[in-house]
Amino acid sequence: MPPPHALVHGKTQRIYNDSHSAGCCLLTPHTHREAQQQQQQQQQAMAQGRGRAGQVFALGLLVLCLLLGAATAGAATYNVDWSFAADSWSSGKSFRAGDVLVFSYNPAVHNVVAVDAGGYNSCRGSSAAYTYTSGSDHVTLVPGTNYFICSLSGHCGLGMKMAVTAN
Ligand code: CU1
């Protein structure tokens, strides 16, 4: 028969072991499951957060597009028939300041000179006149009448000139 304290000690030890092992068996999977659930909840919350952030971003983008659209709604781009019939091309069309004319031509034989009314009438550019030579010139119309001539080879006198009024 073991001494009473040893029995008590052993019993205590056994009870402790049982409860400990039972605790391990029950608690570990339980806490593990809880941790998994928490992790899933966090991931869901993050996913929802990302989803909301994405929605806000998309909405912001939409608003930005609408604003830009409104800002550029009045401006149009025209491909100019930069030829000896240029003036008849522009007549009857209405333009607005800010509209863009695209002059496409062979730069070896033509140019575009932005002149004033005198230059347009006399087919002469001035030192202040700006000459475009790229062959694909984008010119933004200013308010009033915009005058253009080709200053090469007497083309202006042959009708390669254009007066465009922008409102
Ligand atoms: Cu020309």
pLDDT for the residue 127:
87
φ, ψ for residue 4 (rounded to 5)?
Answer: -55, -40
In the reported structure, the alpha carbon of residue 106 is separated from the centroid of ligand 1 by a whole-number distance in angstroms of 9
In the reported structure, the alpha carbon of residue 115 is separated from the centroid of ligand 1 by a whole-number distance in angstroms of 15
Structural element, H or E, at residue 59 = helix 4-72
Structural element, H or E, at residue 112 = strand 112-115
Percent of the chain scoring above 90 in pLDDT: 52
- pLDDT over 90 at 86, yes or no: yes
pTM over 0.85: no
pLDDT for the residue 87:
93
CB-based contact 141:101 (threshold 8 Å): yes
pLDDT for the residue 121:
97
pLDDT band at 36 (very low <50, low <70, confident <90, very high): low
Summary mean pLDDT of the chain: 75
In the reported structure, the alpha carbon of residue 156 is separated from the centroid of ligand 1 by a whole-number distance in angstroms of 7
Q: What is the pLDDT of residues 114-166, one digit of tens each?
A: 999 999 999 999 888 999 999 999 999 999 999 999 999 999 999 999 999 99
Where do the structural domains in the chain lie, given as residue ranges? 1-73, 77-166
Task: Report, as an integer, the average pLDDT of 3-23.
Answer: 43
Classified by CATH at the fold level, domain 77-166 comes out as: Immunoglobulin-like (2.60.40)
In the reported structure, the alpha carbon of residue 95 is separated from the centroid of ligand 1 by a whole-number distance in angstroms of 23
Both structure tokens of 6: 């040893």
pLDDT for the residue 45:
53
In the reported structure, the alpha carbon of residue 123 is separated from the centroid of ligand 1 by a whole-number distance in angstroms of 12
In the reported structure, the alpha carbon of residue 162 is separated from the centroid of ligand 1 by a whole-number distance in angstroms of 12
- pLDDT over 90 at 77, yes or no: yes
In the reported structure, the alpha carbon of residue 81 is separated from the centroid of ligand 1 by a whole-number distance in angstroms of 12
Q: Using alpha carbons, list the distances in angstroms from residue 146 to 70, 95, 117, 166.
A: 25, 10, 8, 7
pLDDT for the residue 28:
42
Task: Report, as an integer, the average pLDDT of 43-51.
Answer: 57
In the reported structure, the alpha carbon of residue 117 is separated from the centroid of ligand 1 by a whole-number distance in angstroms of 19
pLDDT band at 96 (very low <50, low <70, confident <90, very high): very high
Which has the closest alpha carbon to 77: 145, 137, 33? 137
For 140-166, the DSSP string reads EPPSEEEEEE--STTTGGGT-EEEEEE
CB-based contact 102:79 (threshold 8 Å): yes
In the reported structure, the alpha carbon of residue 60 is separated from the centroid of ligand 1 by a whole-number distance in angstroms of 48
pLDDT for the residue 42:
59
In the reported structure, the alpha carbon of residue 154 is separated from the centroid of ligand 1 by a whole-number distance in angstroms of 7
In the reported structure, the alpha carbon of residue 136 is separated from the centroid of ligand 1 by a whole-number distance in angstroms of 14
